[in-house]
Amino acid sequence: MADVPVSGRVTGENGDPLPGVTIIVKGTTQGITTNADGGFALNAPEGSTLIFSYVGFSRKEVTISGATTSLNVSLIEDTRALSEVVVVGYGTQERGSVTGAISSVGSADIVRQPVPDATQAIQGKVSGVTITSNGGAPGGAAGTSVRVRGITSAGFNSPLYVVDGFPLPAATDGNGNATNTELTNISPNDIETIDVLKDASATAIYGVRAANGVIIITTKRGKAGRTSINFDAYRGVQTVARRLDLLNAEEYATINNEARIAAGQPIALEKLRNPSALGEGTDWQDLLFRRAKIQNYSLSATGGSEKAQYALSGTYYQQDGILLGSQFERFTLRANGDVRLGRIFKVGNSIALTHLSDRQVPTNNGEYGTVQQLLRMPPTVQPYRPDGFYYQPNNDADNFTEENPLATAQRVDQKYTRNRALTTFYAELEPLKGLRFRTNVGADFIFDNNNAFAPKAPELEGYTTRPTYLIANASASSSYAPTYLIENTASYDHLFDEKHQVTLLLGQSAQQFNFSNVVASRSNYTRNDLRTINSGPINTLLANGGTIDTPRRLASYFSRVNYEFAGKYIFQATARYDGSSRFQSGEKFGFFPGVSAGWRISEEDFLKGNSVVSNLKVRAGYGQVGNELNAGRYAYLYSVNFGITYPLGDGTLQPGGAPTRLANPNLRWEKNEQTNIGIDAGFLENRFEASLDLYSRNSPNLIAGVPPSLVSGTYESVATNAASAYNRGLDFSITSHNFTGANQSLDWSTTLNLSAYKTRLVSLGAGIPYNGQGSLSGTIVRYDEGYAFGSFYGLIADGLIQTQEELTTLNTGANVNNPKNDLYYQRQATAPGDIKFRDLNGDGTITDADRTFIGNPNPNFTFGITNTLSYKNFDLSFFIQGVQGNDVYNLNRYITENALYGTTNGTTRILNRWTGPGTSNDVPRAIVGDPNGNLRVSTHYIEDGSYVRLKNLTFGYTLPRTLMSRISANQVRVYFTAQNLLTLTKYTGYDPEVSASGVDQGIYPQARVFMGGINIGF
């Protein structure tokens, strides 16, 4: 065939030109690369096929039907290809040279989902990483629990986040508990890649902070070439994905009357005497849940020359919550720049400014949050008074006195704001090729303000006003948390004798964390329109305070050696010497090594060029890393309590102090030892790619409380490195390029990620078992040897007692060895229809000694399946995510089943209550007071938390270039997205994704989202 001239331009999905794209005539070695503007020109045989390939993008084939000067090709970003270069901490590596366990996610996957927190966008897309939303509060305010390869501690388990080389301070509340909100200040639109370092051979470079994995976020930077301007916008509506079937007024009255009659009590209210006359009553879910808007607008500009590049962006994100009273708003500005000053010197910066404000409602943080109150509220109670204020139930009219959930959600005028500036600056000198000296300095300034005013309620004759509403009060707090960083590194990279690739790294890092705050409150305001602290009255109810914490410091020295021979044999060794100010002198510093090796078998002569196996690499690694955050401040010192009083002289109590906790000068950070074995494989020219990792993580010196000696004169447990635990599992991922489109034909790829792990608390050493999360019903979580972290603890429910004969037999067994015959199997008032608990110790009676471990919140495995399809100008993607084998303690049922025993509302489940032998073996009888203690912590309230969710569905259309040229645009794409569209689960609560604890304590439900958007590139 005769050669014909072919020329055109290659761009990305957003219309940006792609310089350096390789263009090869298929079946030959003839080819060229695109210029800085993405342009190209070559001669190719008519009828031949051109192959376009570029790092980070899917390969595309185009058949040449004749001469053309306008062959415009758009390459689609490919996270598989993008991960060919990964960030490894203080540097980058080619994917083929990586010997640790590292996964990457690109910007295309991150921005596809309308989430405020980028960690939510990678849920199910990284094997070995379990991501659980702590609730659907707007702006991600509830946080996102991220567990890299499971749980290593009973305390802090969140990974270290590093943004553009700056390790972020851990997000914690005032008590040091993780809030998991590190990334809510960053716009997902600004992120280029997220790299997850999972094993210790990869994370050891971060030493004492790396036990829970490291997540490295790289934001977008400018590229040489023509300036590119992009605008992205979406707007949508949110609704609660699932509602519970609550009792209506007639059903509520029926149950309430039955419970009182069973207890020998009269019907509570005259209006309840005829349930059929009450009708539906108040639907509290209709009143509290709403259709809420979500919107995001992002404008960015990138470009530059060979000497200077820039990336500028601004994003506005706003989300109303599906629960009344909740909302979130965020503004972000980012400026990244790189400038080459001469041949050997380069400088650059990253500046990110964030302003956010939100108003949240109390959920999942106690027994009386908005969701809990919504479930409790009887449908026979009216929502508002005639004057429009929130109606307060009372005993006389409602036989109910708890707070109206509308008031719980809305009465207090409160606002939280955060202003944050995260900035880094680097200077790099390269006096010789491959030899680089780099200094990186940074600062993170966080300013938080929280203001609240609870107005005085207007009094109305004939209506009850809640006592706490009779006094107006205000509170305010302000905090300042600056973090400073300086790092110096020297690196050398050189290929010797065309076979020996050597990379050396030496570095020093120092980081300081400061915190100070002031708080104030005033009460008994006389007016509701003067709402600031300064406007309040001066009285004895005035209070103020503040803290200035001692700075926390880290000092570190680190090194890394990489060696690769002939592209086949790979070795890496890492060492970090870390010091932390949290510990006593002599225990401040520790050594954290890591080593790994790999063998690229596919590069061996006996496999190279194989038509079936296109890539095969085995790797192994070992390392030690630490976790300093579980120690707490000054946990190694004596504790003295000055709140102790002593009777002196005439017996009058006088204030004093006494030691209450012994010192432990040997307290150290928790250490984690990790071993990893992995294999990476590609088949049929990498049409199928798979990765499998097996790992073991051992924690030999976890911090646990050890009771003091009785003769010590103290009573508080001493923090000691006494406990040990292990965590073992596997990560698996596979990608299939089902169809590789040419000439805009069908392109379809599928990726499956799967993760599984088992965790055990092996030993408590000198420590003793201790309780974790509890509730009004008692302790739910307990830590003990031989069980998984966070396991549920309580009684085992063996159905219901059906007959009096069965109960008599049980009570008789309780008195086999009791001549007095005054014992009962459960309680004296136990009757048929009550829960029968299992007697584990065989003494014939049910006591606390019969409690055992009854559930595990950790899943057997998690998975995610992503399908991406494109055909001509259309694209479709859908993402399915799921969790299997985890238990959930449904504390909401403690509330709703209380309708059988008290005055609260319940779900229609209790309509199937026990009313006689054989009528139910699951839902107990209705009787006021719960004389059997059916509400005790037991397996009765444990449910299967497994689910499969259609997390995201996106359909898009890119306008033809003939239309885009009319507005001088390089790309215009419109799309429709649905999130949380369908969830398959047996769980009976609002949402099976109930936070990492597995306890559903009135969690804020996740929303179902429908939205439309547009991407425009110029």
Q: What is the spatial distance between Cα 9 and Cα 965, in angstroms, rounded to a whole number? A: 14
CB burial class (10 A; 0-12, 13-18, 19+) of residue 588? middle
Give the integer Cα–Cα distance in Å for 923 and 820: 34
The contacts of residue 812 (CB under 8 Å, 6+ apart) are none
- The confidence score (pLDDT) of residue 83 equals 45
Are the CB atoms for 402 and 367 separated by under 8 Å?
no
Cα–Cα distance between 380 and 365 in angstroms, integer? 27
Q: What does the pLDDT read at residue 177?
A: 62
> Which helix (H) or strand (E) covers residue 894, if one does?
helix 891-896
What pLDDT sits at residue 78?
62
What is the pTM assigned to this prediction? 0.88
- Evaluate whether 858 touches 924 at the Cβ level (below 8 Å): no
The burial class, CB within 10 Å (0-12 / 13-18 / 19+), for 750 is: middle
pLDDT at 82: 43
Structure tokens at 283: 């639907």
Q: How far is CA 813 from CA 448, 539, 792, 806, in A?
A: 62, 64, 29, 11
Q: Are 333 and 350 in contact (CB under 8 A)?
A: no
Hey, how many other C-beta atoms are within 10 angstroms of the C-beta on 501? Answer: 17
Task: Give phi and psi for 861, each to the nearest 5.
Answer: -160, 160
Sign of CA dihedral 798, 803, 807, 809: negative
What pLDDT is recorded for position 513?
A: 95
Model confidence over 3-49: pLDDT tens digits? 888 999 898 876 778 887 888 888 777 888 888 778 899 888 888 88
Q: What is the pLDDT of residue 262?
A: 96
CB 706 within 8 A of CB 766: yes
Low-confidence ranges of the chain (pLDDT < 70): 1, 14, 55-56, 78-83, 173-178, 364-366, 741-744
Give 814-883 as a DSSP string.
Answer: HTTT-TT----SS-TT--TTSEEE--SSSSSS--GGG-EEEE--S-SEEEEEEEEEEETTEEEEEEEEEE
Which bin fits 686, alpha (ψ -120 to 50), beta or left (φ > 0)? left
Return d(Cα 44, Cα 25) in angstroms, integer. Answer: 7
Q: Is 39 helix (H, G, I), strand (E, B) or coil?
A: strand
Residues with Cβ < 8 Å from 376, sequence gap 6 or more? 402, 405, 895, 898, 904, 905
Rounded CA gap, 179 and 146, in Å?
Answer: 11
